[in-house]
Structure 1
């Protein structure tokens, strides 16, 4: 449901350096293309990173590193000469996900772009993939590129749960400046927990609908208050009742809104080295056919 509309001038963000982790696959090529478009739009820099597995004889690792540097150098040169984007290359040794996370920090990347995980015909396994582990461990935003990039993002859906972490998510996303040319929707999936019980009790449908409407209005008020508290310039506020999985509902909302980017948050917890990839973020990253930006949110109480 569309409950409000408005546009405000977005602040120019600070995203200037985008790291692209590539294994030279077609999926990585999509991440590289999206990074090039973003860097050109922002006047930023692209850092190309390839990981060479160090669990092999030193001579082979050295030969692979030299060959990879040559390939990355060619890609960087193409970005500079054909796209007008500043680019440089780096090859690192180690386990793929661990080396990528270290490279993100070493190069001070504002955003890391990676290709989507490989989807299989009969099952879709995201947990444990390099993409999932990078998203979970990175302390900087990670953009998982699913779609073939053709232009700047036109429509962005930011998933919020109305808690304190959502304000940090909105503020962090706004600072990146990824949506200066896009329509932005703040999306919330609300619950109507008593509805099934009322239905089992044979309560008239009109009364159940009234109860659901009241829950929706409460959610709309809370969403408006959240956006106002952080002065987030949303063009649309989207609400939808959860009748199954919140993650799947968000994916459906993204399709209905024709969003080409979905933004979710991952939350740090005290005592853990990395970030928790909650069920909602995991479901969106696993199932969404749009690009997904995962923003780590530090817990101020941690």
Structure 2
């Protein structure tokens, strides 16, 4: 049976993540667990009060009338470090998908320590769905931002298994940066020859994307393919503005937090900047 885990801080910004988890569990016939982690506090009395409030709040959220999605989910409240306990729960339950709400930005601390999403993705244990939008229906318009690496095939398979509905419109975007375009211009190559070279590179890239879809997808013909020309993160952000998807799907290598802090990753930038939901599939997790 498919297993879903939704980690929630029980704040209003995370309500949509709980609803999306319920919708997905209902559609997939999946087993769903809700997890809330209470961070340690200075006194045992305050901790006990926080635990009682969290248990009551999570139990109420997982029962009618607040719960509208079939059988109620399993619920758990734990005390400690959220990142550590979520990873431990993933180890114990082996979910097929982790659903979370948007994280609270902490500035320099996020850069030094990594966000919760980064810490989870770096373990490469399961895909992560960050939910921002109201979850009132299945996803209608999906943008898959793919390169030609191994994790892109995994992203396609995870999307089709977990979030892609029969009526979802799906578009694949691939960014093609012809390697010699700048050199050709500097060398004085005629503009029409540079344009022809770029067009050939874009056609070749589109063919490679379609071949990837044929290998990874159960219905590759459903995808429209668009080729972007500039830096991947900037191109994806522009595509989100232009096409207004309600979900972006990406693969990631799940590199370590130190390298992410120094140069960032495309997936991390989109998780931070996107205004829609984002599904990130680490290499080896799907």
Q: Normalising by structure 2, report the TM-score.
A: 0.84
1:83-113 Cα shifts (integer Å, max 9, x gaps): 4343121001111111122223323322111
> Does 2:255 align with 1:249?
no
Q: Which runs of 5+ in 1 are unaligned?
A: 1-13
Structure-1 residue corresponding to 2:135: 149
Name the SS of the counterpart of 1:19 in structure 2.
Answer: strand
> Deviating runs (4+, > 4 A) in structure 1?
123-127, 275-278
How many residue pairs get matched? Answer: 280
Counterparts of 1:26-65 in structure 2, within 5 Å, are: 26-54=12-40, 56-65=42-51
Q: When you count helix as a share of all residues, which structure comes out higher? A: 2
Q: Normalising by structure 1, report the TM-score.
A: 0.80
> Closer, same or farther in 2 for the Cα pair 1:208/1:124, shift >3 Å?
farther
TM-superposed deviation, 1:174: 2.7
CA–CA distance in structure 1, aligned partners of residues 188 and 159 of structure 2: 45
CA–CA distance in structure 1, aligned partners of residues 277 and 234 of structure 2: 15
Q: Which runs of 5+ in 2 are unaligned?
A: none
CA–CA distance in structure 2, aligned partners of residues 124 and 225 of structure 1: 42
Match among 189, 192, 206 for residue 203 of structure 1: 189
Q: Is the 8 A contact 1:114 1:143 kept in 2?
A: yes
Match among 105, 109, 112 for residue 98 of structure 2: 112
> Closer, same or farther in 2 for the Cα pair 1:113/1:219, shift >3 Å?
same
TM-superposed deviation, 1:290: 1.4
1:61-84 Cα shifts (integer Å, max 9, x gaps): 233222211111100113686443
TM-superposed deviation, 1:155: 1.7
CA–CA distance in structure 2, aligned partners of residues 80 and 27 of structure 1: 16
Match among 119, 127, 141 for residue 133 of structure 1: 119
CA–CA distance in structure 2, aligned partners of residues 289 and 268 of structure 1: 22
Structure-1 residue corresponding to 2:213: 227
> Closer, same or farther in 2 for the Cα pair 1:78/1:125, shift >3 Å?
farther
CA–CA distance in structure 1, aligned partners of residues 7 and 265 of structure 2: 25
1:11-36 Cα shifts (integer Å, max 9, x gaps): xxx6x332221112122112112112
1:30-63 Cα shifts (integer Å, max 9, x gaps): 2112112222222334322111123543443233
